[in-house]
């Protein structure tokens, strides 16, 4: 089913019928493409190329590529291929990481991308879901999480957006509060969007063949 869905959007991309595509979204090598634009039912694909900067050892002393964050709505992550991992966190606890709590203004939903330091907080991980093909992770909007991908391994996943959170506040937690987004959030050309979808389909096919009886 996911293959047919992606092939449909690849055909649309070949005709130039795509929108809300962002190259290097939040992190270098992580690309975003909205496949279904419907309030309360938006579907976005994230594709991390082989040369992404999303690798992280899950320790606070290593610079975090993607800050721990909440969402403006409930979300369900659905794996397409690869071993991206969704890491969920809670405030407090022992054996976790000490991070800066920051205010985040997104270049996607706001006028520009900005992280400003607010205070210092302690977080601990509560769940880790590997988003390989067939895996999914549903989260309320207020759940804190981040996504990591092993170094030099491509991956892709869907984000299905649900009900909006009326109490959403744009904050994040990171050990890298000084952040330069000047090389991020670029508008891709048509051939790039096509390549993201082709790579996602190829990765999906390879992964399903590997587990076939």
For residue 111, pLDDT beyond 50: no
Q: What is the mean pLDDT of the chain?
A: 90
pLDDT in tens, 131-149: 999 899 999 999 999 999 9
pLDDT average, residue stretch 101-116: 62
Secondary element (H or E) of residue 190: helix 190-211
pLDDT of residue 120: 75
Determine what percent of the chain is predicted with pLDDT higher than 70: 90
Secondary element (H or E) of residue 74: strand 73-81
Structure pTM? 0.92
pLDDT in tens, 155-213: 999 999 999 999 998 889 998 887 788 899 999 999 999 999 999 999 999 998 866 55
Domain with 149, as residue range(s), is: 2-211
Cα separation values, 129 from 26, 41, 66, 189, 193, Å = 21, 22, 16, 32, 27
Better pLDDT: 63 or 149: 149
Q: Out of 23-27, 34-38, 106-110, 187-191, which region has the weakest mean confidence (pLDDT)?
A: 106-110
For residue 115, pLDDT beyond 70: no
Q: The CATH number of the domain where 11 resides is what?
A: 2.60.120.10
For residue 68, pLDDT beyond 50: yes
Task: Say if residues 77 and 43 touch (Cβ distance below 8 Å).
Answer: no
pLDDT of residue 147: 98
State the total domains in the chain.
1
């Amino acid at each position: 089913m996911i293959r047919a869905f992606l092939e449909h959007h690849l055909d649309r991309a070949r005709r130039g019928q795509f929108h809300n595509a962002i190259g290097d979204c939040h992190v270098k090598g992580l690309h975003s493409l909205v496949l279904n634009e419907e309030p309360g039912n938006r579907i976005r694909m994230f594709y991390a190329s082989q040369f992404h900067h999303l690798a992280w050892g899950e320790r606070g002393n290593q610079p975090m590529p993607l800050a721990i964050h909440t969402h403006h709505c409930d979300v369900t992550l659905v794996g397409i291929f690869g071993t991206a991992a969704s890491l969920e966190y809670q405030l407090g606890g022992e054996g976790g990481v000490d991070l800066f709590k920051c205010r985040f203004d997104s270049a996607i939903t706001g006028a520009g991308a900005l992280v400003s330091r607010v205070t210092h907080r302690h977080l601990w991980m509560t769940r880790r879901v590997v988003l390989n093909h067939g895996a999914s992770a549903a989260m309320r909007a207020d759940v804190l999480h981040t996504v990591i991908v092993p170094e030099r391994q491509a991956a892709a996943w869907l984000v299905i957006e649900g009900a909006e959170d009326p109490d959403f506040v744009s904050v994040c937690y990171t050990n890298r509060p000084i952040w330069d987004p000047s090389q991020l959030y670029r508008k891709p050309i048509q051939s790039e969007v096509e390549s993201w979808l082709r790579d996602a389909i190829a990765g999906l096919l390879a992964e399903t063949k590997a587990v076939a009886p």
